[in-house]
Structures are given as structure tokens and as C-alpha cells.
Amino acid sequence: MATSVLRLGIPGRRWALAWIDGGSRHRSGTQPGPTSNRARGQSSVTQLSLRTAQKPRKGEHKWAAVVGLEIHAQICSNSKLFSGAQVCFAAPPNSLVSFFDASLPGTLPVLNRRCVEAAVMTGLALNCHINRKSLFDRKHYFYADLPAGYQITQQRLPIATNGHLTYSIYIRKKQSQVTTKTVRIKQIQLEQDSGKSLHDDLRSQTLIDLNRAGVGLLEVVLEPDLCCGEEAAVAVRELQLILQALGTSQANMADYEIQRQITELENGGEVLNETRSFDYKLGCTVPMRDKEGKQDYRFMPEPNLPPLVLYDATSLPSDADSQQVINIDQLRDTLPELPSATRERLVQQYGMLPEHSFALLNEVGLLEFFQNVIKETRAEPKKVTNWVLNTFLYYLKQQNLAVSESPVTAGALAELLDLLDSKAVSSAAAKQVFEELWKGQGKTAAQIVSEQQLGLMQDREALEQLCQATIDGHPQTVMDVKKRNPKAINKLIGLVRKASLSRADPTLIKEILEKKLSL
């Protein structure tokens, strides 16, 4: 399967150029480019296309920022949009290029069924109207990594229009304050990707690799309903999760990169009172008015492709070859559970807070981990949620590990939670066991407990003796307790605990003490 990237494209700009330029002198920000993420094996590509237009709102004299976005997501498919060359991330230069991709004369485009299905599914997931007939166009511009001199896209009549994407914004200062917002989707279209350019400024040349040329892209155009960079980031994140859930795109993206660019734009955007566009090369915003009319794309219908016709259950011709027709209703039935539905289900099923469900979905593989633990443990879901989000995730983040790299398996955590549930260990001891488990030395929770003698004292008599000894040893404190000093009892409990080397259950200690002191 191909690794795919989520790229936010700049309208009319050569974003392929900027992709390789990441970290070059053109970038004005101080953060490092995408290179630091490459170590993790992710294709981290982000170009932002934010049109910050500032419109006056009625009744206000201030300007309000309005942000529109265009997002290009690489479709997860085996072969390219119009040719049979493979889609694959790292491969020798120009090895995944067919004659059509190299735009050799006499070659023609042949549409990939999987890409159409991906577009329809994405359109359905984003509540769009799917156009039963859509058209392909050519968008012309000159660039070395676009061998044909044009890109086949769907400008006039795209495959899907008029949808919406719902996302939730946290107000972190207030506990659990979640607002749901919606951004309208103008259209979703299929288009070709261009090749890759590597700039060699020293020798004044550009090296061209066409492996990526012709790969299918989904362009998702959002209406300018977003009011700030933060909202844009959340909306894009939600789109990313949806695409990953659908499997239409792996949508790997450097989140920090996105945030950085959005912040940059925001900072620039506040001073402006006109429509500006983020010029990637210059790393700052430039007035759009100057750019309008600078580039003539000479759109024309793609003469080699008839209109793309989609069917539904009612319009499907009875004698149709199933390989040659796409049934929208059939695709709708195969849509998997979308992130919003998953979160809803988690809240209902496990009684967790919405923010917990967000956290579980936000980390790759975390939800699966959580569900595996739930399956194998007797402990309450709330306990599991707490341990997974507060302890497990904390350890992961500290060492910057992915869930798949965790030294603690779901089974190991489940076993630990069982021990905790049966009161074989105290809460504090359990944390110690977890730390030991994290070292990944292959020991089970039970083994660690017995080795380090972290198990709770099971012998009630021994505990009673310990309590008695503590009472005898601290007459002053006992007197305070008898005087109903509320802090004194805690002190006693603490003393017993220390004496027991943290192997006693505090609630039990309290019970015994209270009985002994006849409270």
C-alpha cells in the first residue's frame, strides 16, 4: 500500500517546488523544516494555502479574519490516477514512471477505479452532494516537474460539492467546554500530482524525479468559514482522521509544521485589511490582487476523457458490467465508522468524557490499544481509560514513542489492572510496577510484584499487629486522634503505611485503626 501525504496546496502556486525547499533559506520561520519528522518514517509534507480575507461584519467597525483552505490528499491506491505505474513512497528516481506519466507522445489517460471510489467515499463521509456526472479539465502551466505542461483536474464540474465538516474546539481554560463548529466544503475534485524537483542552486540546475507525477490527489476545498489559525488546525486534523478512517488517504502530516504556518499567517494577517495569500517561497503573505491575472491556466476540457458517470441503486443499468460502473449507494453501505461516530460510541459505551474520546482517537493506535486492554481485563472501563490516558500515554510522550513502539503491551497492562482490581497491589505499588514494566525486560506484572514484594499485605492479623505497634509507638498522635483532630488520623495511617513498606491498603488501615481506637 502506498504511503500517502496530506498536502495543503496553494492555489496557482508551484507547491511541489516548495515541498523540497522545506528548510531552505526561503523559509522565514525559525522552526526546522520537515526533516526532523523524516526520521520517524513519515512523509511530512505541508504546504498551506490560506486565503486570509478580512471582511467587515455588520455593526462592527473592526476587521474580522476569515480563512479558506485547500487541502490536497494523496489517494491511497496501488497505481496512479491515469496510468498503471506504482504508487510508492521511496523508490529509485524515475522507476515508477509509465510512458504516460513522462508524457511521451501517443499516450492516453485511463482512469483508475479505486481513485474514483476514494473520491466518492470521501464525498459521502463529508456529507457532499455527489455529482452523477463530472468532467475532467486541463490546467496549463509550465514547470519542469509537469512534463505534459498541464495537469488533469476537475475544475468545472467536480465529483462532489457542497458538503460540511464538523469539528470540536476545546476551551482548555474551562473544564470540558467543547463547542462544535462546522466548515462548509465547496468541492472535492480528483487531480494529478506533479513530479518532484530537487534544486541544485550550486550548479544552477533542477533535478526532476517523476515518480510522483500522475499520482491521484483529492483536492478538498473549504469555504472561508474558519475564523482563525487554531480553528483551521482543528478542522484539518479532523479531516485527517476521517481520511485515515476511510482508508482513502494515510494523510501523514507534520502537525507542528501546520501549526507554525498557520500561526505565521495569523500574525501577518492581523495587520492586513485585504485578501492575501501565503506565498510559500517568500515565507510571508503577499497581496492577492497582484497575483490575480498573473497566471493564466488556460482551462480546457480534457479531450481524451468522456464525462465520468456515477450510478446509484435506482439508476444502475441492469446489464452493466460491475467492474465498469460505480454504485454510490453500494459505497455508502461500505463506509466504515467515522471518527465522530466512534467518539460518540466510546462515550456511550464506556462512560468516558468527550475529551477522553478525543485523546484516544488523536494518537495513532491508541484506540486499538485501549480496546485490547478492555478486552483482557476485569477492571472497570473508567480505570482503564485513566491508566491509558494518564499513565501509558504520559510515558509514551516522555520518550516520544508511538503506540506501536511501546515496551508495554496491552496484555501486560491488562494483567496489572487485574492485580489492582483484586486488591493484590495498592495504587502506588501499581505505578511502580508499571515503571518496571516499561523497562521492557520481559517480566510480567505478577513477577515484578513478587520480586519486589510490592504485593499488598494479605495477612489481616499481621496488619493489625502493625497498627497496634504504631498506636503504641505514637501516644501523642493517638491523643490527637481521640481529640477528633482530623489530620491526626491521616498521620497515623501514613505511619502504618511506611511501616508496612507501602504494602498495605490505606482504606483497610483506616478501618483497623478506627476499630482499635474505638472511633
Q: Can you state the angle between helices 486-499 and 475-482, rounded to 10 degrees? A: 140
Closest CB to other proteins among 16 and 45? 16
Q: In the numeric block, which cell numbers belong to residue 44?
A: 511530512
469 counts as binding other proteins under rule CB under 8 A = no
365: region left, alpha or beta (phi > 0 left; psi from -120 to 50 alpha): left
Q: Which stretch binds other proteins (CB under 8 A): 300-308, 332-340, 387-395, 463-471?
A: 300-308
Count CA within 13 A, CB hemisphere, residue 451: 10
Which member of 14, 72, 356, 497 binds other proteins (CB under 8 A)?
14
Q: In the numeric block, which cell numbers belong to residue 466?
A: 502493625
Q: Which stretch binds other proteins (CB under 8 A): 102-110, 258-266, 361-369, 377-385?
A: 102-110
1 counts as binding other proteins under rule CB under 8 A = no
451 counts as binding other proteins under rule CB under 8 A = no
Q: Which stretch binds other proteins (CB under 8 A): 88-96, 242-250, 436-444, 475-483?
A: 88-96
Least separation, in Å, of the C-beta of 83 and other proteins?
A: 6
Taking CB under 8 A as the criterion, which residues in 129-148 touch other proteins? 135, 142-145
Q: Which stretch binds other proteins (CB under 8 A): 71-79, 242-250, 479-487, 491-499?
A: 71-79
Q: How far apart are CA 46 and CA 255, in angstroms?
A: 9
Least separation, in Å, of the C-beta of 335 and other proteins?
A: 19
Closest CB to other proteins among 43 and 112? 112
Q: Which stretch binds other proteins (CB under 8 A): 207-215, 262-270, 348-356, 492-500?
A: 207-215
Which member of 33, 36, 89, 93 binds other proteins (CB under 8 A)?
93
151 phi and psi angles, rounded to 5 deg: -115, 135
Residue 432, SS3 per DSSP: helix
Q: How far apart are CA 327 and CA 130, in angstroms?
A: 11
Which member of 175, 180, 323, 476 binds other proteins (CB under 8 A)?
323
Which member of 38, 40, 298, 397 binds other proteins (CB under 8 A)?
298
Question: Could you tell me if 378 and 418 are in contact, meaning their C-beta atoms sit under 8 angstroms apart?
Answer: yes
Q: How far apart are CA 206 and CA 145, in angstroms?
A: 9
Taking CB under 8 A as the criterion, which residues in 142-181 touch other proteins? 142-145, 155-156
CB atoms within 10 A of CB 375: 10
Please enumerate in sequence order all residues whose Cβ is within 8 A of that of 492, keeping only pairs 6 or more positions apart, or say none.
470, 471, 474, 477, 478, 481, 513
Closest CB to other proteins among 298 and 397? 298
274 counts as binding other proteins under rule CB under 8 A = no
Q: For every residue of 221-248, which 3-state class applies, written as one string?
A: EEEEEECCHHHHHHHHHHHHHHHHHHCC
Q: How far apart are CA 393 and CA 257, in angstroms?
A: 22
104 counts as binding other proteins under rule CB under 8 A = yes
Q: Which stretch binds other proteins (CB under 8 A): 205-213, 240-248, 427-435, 477-485?
A: 205-213
Q: In the numeric block, which cell numbers belong to residue 207?
A: 533535478
Which member of 234, 284, 305, 316 binds other proteins (CB under 8 A)?
305
Q: In the numeric block, which cell numbers belong to residue 4?
A: 500517502
Q: Which stretch binds other proteins (CB under 8 A): 7-15, 344-352, 362-370, 420-428?
A: 7-15
38 counts as binding other proteins under rule CB under 8 A = no
79 counts as binding other proteins under rule CB under 8 A = yes
Question: Could you tell me if 309 and 326 are in contact, meaning their C-beta atoms sit under 8 angstroms apart?
Answer: no
CB atoms within 10 A of CB 439: 11
DSSP for 140-179 reads: E---TT-TTSEEEE--SS-SEEEEEEEEEEEETTSTTEEE
Residues of the shown chain interacting with other proteins in the complex, contacts defined by CB under 8 A:
11-12, 14, 17, 77-79, 83-86, 92-100, 102, 104, 110-116, 135, 142-145, 155-156, 197-199, 201, 204-210, 281, 292-299, 301, 303-309, 323-324, 326
